[in-house]
Structure formats: structure tokens, C-alpha cells
Amino acid sequence: MLASSYKDEDGHISVSGSGAAAAAGGGSLRNKKPENTAFKQQRLPAWQPILTAGTVLPAFFIIGLIFIPIGIGLYVTSNNIKEIEIDYTGVDMSSPCFNCSQNFSWNSTKSCTCSIPFQLDQPYESNVFMYYGLSNFYQNHRRYVKSRDDSQLNGNEESLRSPSKECEPYARHDNKPIAPCGAIANSMFNGTTKPVNWRRPVYELDSDPNNNGFINEDFIVWMRTAALPTFRKLYRIIQRRNNLLPTLPRGNYTLEVVYNYPVRSFEGRKRMILSTISWMGGKNPFLGIAYITVGSICFLLGIVLLIIHHKYGNRNNGADVSH
Amino acid sequence: DDCLTQRMMSHPQLYIPGQLNLYFSKKAFFKCAIHSCYSSLVLFFIPYAALHDTLREDGKDAADYQSFALLTQTCLLFAVSIQLGLEMSYWTAVNTFFVLGSLAMYFVVTFTMYSNGMFLILPAAFPFIGTARNSLNQPNVWLTIILTSILCVLPVVTYRFLLIQLCPTINDKVRQARATPPPPPRRTRIRRTSSRRSGYAFSHTQGYGDLVTSGRFLRRPAVVSWSPGFPPVGRATSGFSPMGRSAGYSPTGRPQSSKVPDVEATSLQMYRAIKDPPL
């Protein structure tokens, strides 16, 4: 047996060869080495994925073939959803709400009304949902989002007496705590009450006792801040009355607006939306189009890669490793 | 499975990428930066467009700030996990457990943090109450997650596949070789071929007369009877046969190193001989 020298893990160079010396030294050395198990010697059975043509190309084709039908399904579903948007900001001179938008301001006492006629071309079946939409209203501004007191909204007595600091400057008024405090509550979108220093206190938001106070639906919907500057929030649901008649038949309708929420000062827009709902939600063709696009790209890429693989790939695959 | 050390010894070119600093250079960093830019744009704008003016299937609004945040971070998690799976080229049980476990842990922590219990303990610190259970039951949301993750990973897979097909590195060739017939029979084939070649080559030069007469070859462990010009038959591993151009012996008679390489190092010599001039 040839003598060999090696370094063990501690960095000590030791020589072991035949003979008694090896046995004595080898005993202590063997303790410092990790055991010769698969786990400690990193010999665990492993799967090594390699990007071969046999795995990548079928994967591309399968993804393409799955995404395209999903995209088509989503797009068709989205197209079948009926939706109508009516902007009642009153920007144009021809709009019925133009006078209201010009004259109404934050400290007007008299409310302004206007009515906008609109037409439904198709009957709206099943439940119809009515939303109010705002544009250019940044509910996702960080200071705005933080300006609330969830303990207070949860009914915590101590928070009702002393709102959190986050609500400043809408936490106290005349040395009295404001409930609900914060900028979010203060700017609540309303159909009937003034936003700044609400005319009606929170416990008179609705005559229905189940919808009053902090659990008022409109209040809850408003307090959940929207992510984007253009958003819509649920206002009311028009329930289907009976199965035979559509909920909103075809015809002419009128929207009566009590113009209470001035948005012209920040170039915002207000609108009312009527929409039906499907399993994928409201009308949004983006997801359908995106799936079709990505599916087609995948499929095309699969074909292109297949061509490349046939022309160039085989040339390199059989190459001699030694060269 | 083959022991990794033996494989590395048989393909010493695998050390070249490290020596040439191929994988940690400005070019590699630039590629990484481009990929991150692309991923960031995809991870924001796809959820943005998917949630823009969208509603839940029960009519309530879906585009609130908490749902948007949850959707984006879940897309990110999935994209990162798939990318990690691609980078990890050695899936042992331990690796698989930790990758899948971290994904599971994400969901556990998310559902815990967004639960009613945590909100009641500390309302100000957990404003995302109810988001997880209300958002993740929408098919819309899951379709967006799948789309975003696949879109993030698609360019990486395409780019790597193209690289492997058009300009494979030594790593790729070795891995492909693993997928095809195992190397040891190839090695024997190579030896025989090159020794045959060297047999021809050396027949035109001075030859190995001095080798035979010096008796140096007798120091080798097991030697098959051999003479210059005749390729050794049978398994070459049992004996010594000249590989490459010089195989440590110069036909011109110049002194060689007296180190006696064993069988393993001979294959090393085979590679070195092609690149280095004879000693």
C-alpha cells in the first residue's frame, strides 16, 4: 500500500499508511470526520432537471394549448357581461349637471339636483349591481390610508374617547373627539350629506337600525380604501324580482342625482355604473386578452425553438466532451 | 449514481468557467438587472390591469388596496419559487421540502395575519383583516397569479434553452452526456481511437525505443505487453498506453518528469496534452 498524505477537515496534515501508527492516529481522526451517510456526505438521491428539448418544447406547447382556450373563455364571458357607465360630473356645458358642478362648493347649504337620461339597449337579467365610480381620487395616498382608527371602528371605548394620533387633523373638533376619525371617514362619498363635518352624525346615517352607525354599509364600503385612482364601489343591488322578466328591461331611464360631492376642484370625475356579474366578476376583457396573447406567444415560441433545435441543436448534442 | 468527484476528475474543463470568471462579471450582472426590471414591470402591471375596474363574483369591489397588495405579493412568491426551482439544479428531498415548505409557510402566515383573531388583539397593526380568505377564493385572482408567474419565468427558460442549443458550455455538454449513454464506455472508445491515432503518429517519429530500453515503463502497476505502432487491445484501463501527442514521453528523447502518473491521471494528461506543448 502506498503511503498517502491528506488533509482532514480540521486542516491538519496527517499521514496514514500501513502500520500501527495509522491505527492509533486514524482512530482519533475518524471521529472528526462526519459519518459516511448519504445525508452528511451530500449523496442524497436527487433529481437534476436539465433543460432538454424533450422537456421544454412539450411544456411550451402544453402551456400554449391550455392558455388559449382559457383566454377565449374569459374573453367571451367578459363580453357577455352588460355594463353601462354614466358620467355625471357635468364637465360639458351640454350636460344636465353642469350648473350643479359650477355652482356647488364645499360650503353650499342648498343641495343641487340634476337628472340625466340614459338608455339600455339590452335587457339586464338577474341581479344588477349599481356602483359609483370616482376618477383621479387617490384613496391610495399613504397618509390618507393611515388616517383611520380601527380600534375605534371596532367599538373600543377607549379609542372612542381618545382617537389615535394617525387621525390628525381629523381627530378632535372643539376639544371633542371625532368618531369616526380620520381623513378617510371625513371624505366619505355621500349622496345626501355634506362631506366636511358631516351634517348628520354617524348614528343617523340610515333610518334602518341595522345599517346605522359604524356598520352602515356605505360607510364600510367607503372605508375600505381603493388601490387605484380610478375605482368603483358598490352602492346598491337591484335584486331580480322574478325569473321571467329581466331585472332592467330595455328602454329609457333617468338618473336623478343630488349633487353633493364636488370633484371639480381636483379634476375628478364621478360616474354611475350598472353592471351584471358573472363567475369572473365584472366586465374586464384584459385577462382574456392576456391569456390569449401569452398562450399564442408560448405556442409560437415552441414552434420557433423546435425549428432551432432541429437545425442547430443536434449538431452540438453529440459533441465529444473531450474537445 | 456516480460519485461527483469522479465525474469532476474526468471532465477537468468544468473548472474553466471558474477560472475565467464567467458567471460573476459585469455582463452577468447586467443580464440579472434586465431580468429584474422585466419581472418588476410584469409583477405590477398585470395585477394592475387585471384588477382595474374589476369586481368580485358576488358583485363587491375587488380592487381595494389590501386585495391588490395580496395579489401582487402572491404573484411574486410564485414567480420567485418557480425561478428558484429553475436555478436549483439538484433537487434532493431536503431542497424540495424547504422550497415547497416556504411556499406553504407563506400561506400559513398570510392567513394567520389576516385573520379575525389577530385583528382583535391589535387592530391598528393588522389592517388587512379578511383579505386572504376573501381574495383567494376568486378564480380571477388565481388566473392572474398563474399568468403572472408564467410570464415572469418564460423569458428565462427560453433564453437558457436557446443558449444550450446554440452555444452549449462544457457544463451543459456534461449534463447532456449524463442524459445520454454513460461516459465510461465512451472513455474506452476515446482511448482506443486516440491511441490508434498516436500509433500512426508515432510511427513517423523517433518512436519509443528509448522507453523500452530504459525500462521505465516497468514501474507501472500493471502493464500489458506493448510495442510502438501497435495499439493495445482489450480494456485500456488495465495498462498503460500512450495517449495524445506526447503522453509524457517526448519522441525527441528529451528528459521527461520522472513522476509516474497512475491510470486516472493519464486521462488528465490526455486533455492537457492537447492544449499544452510537450514538456
Q: State which residue of chain B sits closest to A53, comparing Cα positions.
A: B161
Decide if B188 is inside a domain.
Answer: no
Nearest to A166 by CA among B127, B70, B66, B120: B127
Query: Across all residues in chain B, what is the average pLDDT?
Result: 73
Decide if B202 is inside a domain.
Answer: no
Residue of B129, B148, B161, B171 to mutate, testing the A interface (most A Cβ within 10 Å of its Cβ): B161
**Single-letter code of the amino acid located at B26:** K
Contact A280 B57 (CB under 8 A): yes
Contact A280 B140 (CB under 8 A): yes
pLDDT of residue A103: 75
Q: Nearest-CA distance from A46 to chain B in Å?
A: 4
Report whether pLDDT(B107) > 80.
Answer: yes
Query: What is the share, in percent, of chain B residues with pLDDT greater than 90?
Result: 27
Question: pLDDT by residue for chain A (323 residues), tens digit each?
Answer: 444 444 444 444 444 444 444 444 444 555 788 888 888 877 788 887 778 888 899 999 999 999 999 999 999 999 999 999 998 888 888 888 888 877 776 666 677 888 888 999 888 888 899 999 999 988 888 888 888 888 888 888 888 888 888 888 787 777 777 778 888 888 877 643 343 446 667 777 777 777 777 888 888 888 888 989 999 999 889 888 888 888 888 889 888 888 877 788 888 888 899 999 988 888 889 999 999 999 999 999 999 999 998 888 666 554 444 44
Decide if B46 is inside a domain.
Answer: yes
Report whether pLDDT(B198) > 70.
Answer: no
Contact B162 A305 (CB under 8 A): yes
User: Is residue B149 exposed (0-12), middle (13-18) or buried (19+ Cβ within 10 Å)?
Assistant: buried
pLDDT of residue B43: 95
Q: Nearest-CA distance from B63 to chain A in Å?
A: 6
pLDDT of residue B111: 93
Q: Nearest-CA distance from A316 to chain B in Å?
A: 7
Q: State which residue of chain B sits closest to A139, comparing Cα positions.
A: B65
Q: Is A214 left (phi over 0), alpha (psi -120 to 50) or beta?
A: alpha
pLDDT of residue B275: 44
List CB contacts (< 8 A) between B138 and chain A. Answer: 281
State how far the Cα of A113 lies from the Cα of A257, in Å rounded to an integer: 6
Cell 388616517 -> residue: A147
Decide if B65 is inside a domain.
Answer: yes
**Mean pLDDT along residues B192-212:** 56
The CA distances from residue B207 to B18, B188, B217, B251, in Å, are 38, 24, 14, 6
Which among A53, A281, A309 is the nearest to B56, CB-wise? A281
Nearest to A232 by CA among B58, B52, B7: B52
pLDDT of residue A173: 76
Contact A226 B173 (CB under 8 A): no
List CB contacts (< 8 A) between A298 and chain B. Answer: 154
Contact B190 A305 (CB under 8 A): no
Contact A227 B63 (CB under 8 A): yes
Q: Contact at 8 Å (CB) between A120 and A276?
A: no
Q: State which residue of chain B sits closest to A45, comparing Cα positions.
A: B92
The radius of gyration of chain A from alpha carbons, rounded to an integer in Å, stands at 35
What domain range is B47 assigned to?
A: 1-22+30-118+129-154
Interface of B with A in 17-46 (CB under 8 A): 46
Decide if B204 is inside a domain.
Answer: no
User: Within its chain, how far is the Cα of B15 from the centroid?
Assistant: 13
- Taking one residue from A and the other from B, the number of pairs with CB-CB distance under 8 angstroms is 185
Contact B53 A282 (CB under 8 A): yes
State how far the Cα of A143 lies from the Cα of A48, in Å rounded to an integer: 49
Q: Is the model more confident about A193 or about B147?
A: B147
Q: Give yes or no for B16 touching A (CB within 8 A).
A: no
pLDDT of residue A26: 46
Decide if B189 is inside a domain.
Answer: no
Tell me which range, A2-11, B67-76, B85-94, is most confidently predicted by mean pLDDT: B67-76
Q: Nearest-CA distance from B251 to chain A in Å?
A: 24
Contact A226 B177 (CB under 8 A): no
Q: State which residue of chain A sits closest to B85, comparing Cα positions.
A: A49
Counting the structural domains of chain B, the total is 1
Q: Is the model more confident about B268 or about A112?
A: A112
pLDDT of residue A192: 35
Decide if B263 is inside a domain.
Answer: no
Interface of B with A in 50-79 (CB under 8 A): 50-69
pLDDT of residue A314: 65
Interface of B with A in 130-189 (CB under 8 A): 138-140, 143-144, 147, 150-151, 154, 157-158, 160-162, 164-168, 170, 173-180, 183, 186
Q: Contact at 8 Å (CB) between B65 and B72?
A: no
Report whether pLDDT(B3) > 50.
Answer: yes
* Maximal CA-CA distance, chain B: 97
Report whether pLDDT(B204) > 80.
Answer: no
Contact A226 B64 (CB under 8 A): yes
pLDDT of residue B206: 64
Contact B175 A48 (CB under 8 A): yes
pLDDT of residue B70: 94
Q: Nearest-CA distance from B188 to chain A in Å?
A: 13
State how far the Cα of B7 lies from the Cα of B9, in Å rounded to an integer: 5
Q: State which residue of chain B sits closest to A148, comparing Cα positions.
A: B124
Tell me which range, A223-227, B72-76, B177-181, is most confidently predicted by mean pLDDT: B72-76
Our CA angle for A49, A51, A53, nearest 5°, is: 130
Which among B50, B95, B186 is the nearest to A286, CB-wise? B50
Q: State which residue of chain B sits closest to A308, comparing Cα positions.
A: B165
CA-CA-CA-CA dihedral for A31, A36, A40, A43, to nearest 10: 160
Does this model's pTM top 0.80? My answer is no
Decide if B238 is inside a domain.
Answer: no
Q: Nearest-CA distance from B60 to chain A in Å?
A: 6
**Mean pLDDT along residues B38-60:** 90
